[in-house]
Amino acid sequence: MALKNEPTAPYHSAQDALRVLETVARHACGVTEPELARHTGLGPERVVDLVRMLRREGYVEQVADGAYVTGASFTRLGAAQGRSEAVRDDLQRTLDRLRDSVGAAVYLTRYVDGEVKVTQYADGPATPAVNEWVDFRFSAHATAVGKSLLGQLDHEARRDHLARHRPARLTSRTITSDALLLSRLAAQPPTVPHLDLQEYAVGTVCAAVPLTAGSSVGSLGLSLPVEDAHRLREAAQTLNRGAAGLLLSLAIRPY
């Protein structure tokens, strides 16, 4: 499978945060923000933002003298026993925070062996998940997460997917033309969220942003009832900003 990944802003944030975290891990007695800026070559304001994200995710914590040391989440990820469960729990906590931040159900998806796979999601009574009335594996052409995943493949890989999963009309808004869908995917800037405006299910709108992590193809999506469609673009922007925390977790361990 050939990819057409272009680094996004969350990717760069995650990479910079990883540099900061690696620096903290090398200083068992703690390291201050000015020292982090000097060791990483990042600007002081950038370091402040990254440390804030790392603290929120539990990867670093501040000690009495204002220096930073590795936190509980980092320690759990380093433990051999229960590591997989700890990683999944950390990802779930991040998804839960994103759900509360955007006020919508959120979904972590991957493109594995030519198929769309929802690996984790976070919903709640006030933020219900979309009803999967058609298997997401067969509806990538209509869902925001599916289009985001396909958008990270090259042209031939997209054509291969559509040949295996013919675009079916799910609502009156569903794109069923291969040519039109491929054209829109090719024209979509990597920094702009993919949208699903009642293309998968009547009464639901969705948005998704790519999770560029090396050779892995991933996506982070959200869904809203159509009466909240006016919030979709703002929610997608919030989701995009929050993607860096997930990418950091994915960068620390194999995706």
> With contact defined as beta carbons under 8 Å apart, do 219 and 240 qualify?
no
Tell how far CA 227 is from the center of its chain. 25
Show the domains of the chain with their CATH numbers.
102-235 (3.30.450.40)
pLDDT for position 255: 43
pLDDT for position 82: 55
Tell how far CA 61 is from the center of its chain. 24
The single-letter DSSP state of residue 137 is G
Beta strands in 198-242 (DSSP E): 204-213, 216-225
Angle (nearest 5°) at CA 95 between 99 and 228: 25
CA atoms within 13 A on the CB side of 176: 7
Residue for token pair 């958008």? 151
Residue for token pair 């009547």? 202
Instruction: Quote the CA–CA distance of 13 and 34 in Å, as a whole number.
Output: 19
pLDDT less than 50: residues of the chain:
1-3, 80, 254-255
pLDDT for position 103: 96
Instruction: Quote the CA–CA distance of 213 and 10 in Å, as a whole number.
Output: 10
The single-letter DSSP state of residue 114 is T
Record the pTM. 0.77
Beta strands in 95-215 (DSSP E): 105-112, 115-122, 194-197, 204-213
Instruction: Quote the CA–CA distance of 172 and 86 in Å, as a whole number.
Output: 43
Sign of CA dihedral 37, 39, 41, 42: negative
